[in-house]
Structure 1
Amino acid sequence: MLQKKNRWQHCSVLANHAVLALILLVINSSSQVSAAVVTSIRPLGFIAAAIAEGVMPTEVQVLLPDGASPHDYALRPSDLQRLHDADLVVWVGVEMEAFLGKPLMKVATGKQIAIAPLAKIAGLLMAGSQHDQSTDDHQHHDHQTDDPPTNDQHHHHHGDYDMHVWLSPKIARLAAITIHDNLLELMPQKKDKLDANLRRFEDKLAQSEKNIASMLKPIRGKGYFVFHDAYGYFEKQFGLTPLGHFTVNPAIPPGARRLHQIKTQLIEREAVCIFAEPQFKPAVINAIAKDTNVRTGELDPLGNGIKLSRDSYMRFLSQLSKQYVSCLE
């Protein structure tokens, strides 16, 4: 009888210890604040990964898979779940990723960063290209102001302002600062690491800009066409001289008049190269260059295949620069 009582007491003690251990585990885990960062496109993931490196237990996640276009991507149920679970969502804005407009209405404003409408960035936005007349019949103009976009204006046409802001190293730096500040609010205990990551990103970016300027200097003044009007920020900063683009909206093919204009310039040997993109490889590019001496190349504005790391944004800029040089040099 005494042995049974002792065994019961022993089991009771073990059970109490197990409950206590579970309580301590819950308390400990709740005190360790972590954050999950989700970005719409890979280049924003490059920037976020540089700031979050060594800070979070989970890697930065990117919604858009390689080969997809932010202009017309359709979210999957798993994407919606990632948005719901994220502590911070980073995107350009509804003018670029229209597919995120409605889903992000369900995400608290404090848990998302729309880069383009930020006050410190809106003033740096370049005007979008004028539409080719042949495509105007297919597009609806619903914005008639010259003011930069804000968080309260969700109906801009993609052509009003150039929303490819990740191709501007200057804007990328401001985006990094904003991501740093938001993560610092989530994890103040990680301040030293976040500060160090931001300083490193800024230093590496400044050095990368110098290297790219030197790399691209020999091809300044050489004319070329791009399929999709996406590179204005990059071209302006580094002094490149595009002759034009096939289309503003890659979902809409260029009209006959536009193709004739491009063909005329190619025949007159004003262009050295025509650039396609990994996600847009229209047959019209090869067809229009067929009877000319113009080379065809490829520009990747989204950094497909580049793994997210603290230096991936710099690798992205370097890769894009080499793509220009390989066709124009």
Structure 2
Amino acid sequence: MSRKLLTLSLTATLMGGTAFAEVPRVAVDIAPVHSLVARVMDSVGTPDLIVKVGASPHEYSLRPSEAKALQEADLVFWIGPDLTPWLTDTIETLAPDAAVTELLETDGTIELEFREGALFEAHDDHEEGEHGDDDDHKEDGDHADEAHDDHEEEGHEDDDHDDEDEAGHEGHDHGAHDPHAWLSPQNAMSWLNVIAGQLSAADPDNAGAYFANAAAGRAEIKVLIGEVTATLDPVRDGRFIVFHDAYQYFEMDFNFPASGAISIGDASDPSPARIAQIQGRIAEQGIDCVLAEPQFNPSLVATVLDGTDAKTGILDPLGSDLKPGAALYPQLIRNLSTALAGCM
């Protein structure tokens, strides 16, 4: 090889090591969060999804490829043990050296306590205070929003659910907070910043791309919020029952409260007493719609609907029929609004 060619070869090698440094391997628990991470990593890399699309995250057995993705991960993003308690030990075992981000515990995240019982009153006592200054919050999705700083602290002061509505609680243990926080677009905007920060710390060469992608993602979600609000406005007088209590973050963001849930937050089978409560609520309030989910037994919804005039539809909190990737999250939120409006 000539001296000139050797010089060019060495230069290209050195430049490649600098400009094209290896992108961190990233593992993410569920498809909606995976979508947010994919949006931040757009044009830089592709995260791995741990819980396959369409599966319930409450209980899940990892496939070998998913376990391998965790083993190889430099960073892990997950909602936290309130959603996937089985994943706590798995992460510690398979990814002990990874930088792990529990999104429910990040600054700026809105956290709502679990609702106990089958029946909900409008806003379930969260209308004031716990959601902070709603107007200020909607103006800025950045995680620096101080309107919710006190929310997490308040949530830990009342971990005692005692024996309130045993039929509704079904005797199951859960964490202090409802983990379905990704259904708040406000949280999603906050998490885009968190994700960009963590990726940039691990991969400073691509920090500019990560933060630019996060900013673009927040702008897209702000447009999405306007679309969803316009979809729901014509049917705000309607009343609906959900399959399991997974939607209060969406309800709060869009001021569109459910009247009750057939199952509790972990989608465990409801007791006969709870089903009877829901059936009573449908009759008393003239419920317009009872919504099923693709992940769970439709016969429970059929039982609840028996003898009523309520319509039925499907809400999918995980995007089980959507392709994983950056486009999944906004389409998931959009689908929730169209399903609700259509059922009304």
TM-score class, shorter? 0.7 to 0.9
Using the TM superposition, give the Cα deviation of residue 134 of structure 1 relative to its aligned residue in structure 2, in angstroms: 2.2
Using the TM superposition, give the Cα deviation of residue 99 of structure 1 relative to its aligned residue in structure 2, in angstroms: 1.8
Identity fraction in percent:
27
Residues 11-26 of structure 1: matches in 2 within 5 Å? none
Q: Does 1:184 align with 2:173?
A: no
Question: How far apart in 1 are the matches of 2:310 and 2:168?
Answer: 25
Q: Does 1:260 align with 2:299?
A: no
Question: How far apart in 2 are the matches of 1:263 and 1:135?
Answer: 13
Corresponding residue SS for 1:297: strand
Corresponding residue for residue 87 of structure 1: 74
Corresponding residue for residue 92 of structure 2: 105
Using the TM superposition, give the Cα deviation of residue 269 of structure 1 relative to its aligned residue in structure 2, in angstroms: 4.9
Between stretches 24-33 and 99-108, larger displacement belongs to: 24-33
> Residue 222 of structure 1 contacts residue 241 of structure 1 at CA under 8 Å; is this kept in 2?
no
Q: Does 1:319 align with 2:335?
A: yes
Q: TM-score, normalised by structure 1?
A: 0.81
Aligned residue among 307, 311, 324 for 1:308 = 324
AA matched with 1:125: E
> Residue 135 of structure 1 contacts residue 252 of structure 1 at CA under 8 Å; is this kept in 2?
no
Q: Which runs of 5+ in 1 are unaligned?
A: 1-12, 141-156
Q: Does 1:139 align with 2:125?
A: no
Q: TM-score, normalised by structure 2?
A: 0.77
Corresponding residue for residue 49 of structure 2: 62
Corresponding residue for residue 220 of structure 2: 204
AA matched with 1:133: E
Q: Which runs of 5+ in 2 are unaligned?
A: 118-164
Question: How far apart in 1 are the matches of 2:260 and 2:170?
Answer: 21
Q: Does 1:126 align with 2:115?
A: no
Corresponding residue SS for 1:227: strand
> Residue 40 of structure 1 contacts residue 63 of structure 1 at CA under 8 Å; is this kept in 2?
yes
> Residue 116 of structure 2 contacts residue 168 of structure 2 at CA under 8 Å; is this kept in 1?
no
Aligned CA RMSD, in angstroms, stands at: 2.6
Which entry has the higher C-alpha Rg, 1 or 2?
A: 1
> Residue 173 of structure 1 contacts residue 202 of structure 1 at CA under 8 Å; is this kept in 2?
yes
Corresponding residue SS for 1:120: coil
Question: How far apart in 2 are the matches of 1:315 and 1:205?
Answer: 10
Structure 1 residues 51 and 300, CA gap change in structure 2 (3 angstroms): same
Corresponding residue SS for 1:98: coil
Aligned residue among 32, 35, 52 for 2:21 = 32
Question: How far apart in 2 are the matches of 1:192 and 1:137?
Answer: 48
Using the TM superposition, give the Cα deviation of residue 127 of structure 1 relative to its aligned residue in structure 2, in angstroms: 1.1
| Structure number with higher relative contact order (C-alpha < 8 Å, ≥ 6 residues apart) | 2
Structure 1 residues 164 and 136, CA gap change in structure 2 (3 angstroms): closer
Q: Does 1:42 align with 2:75?
A: no
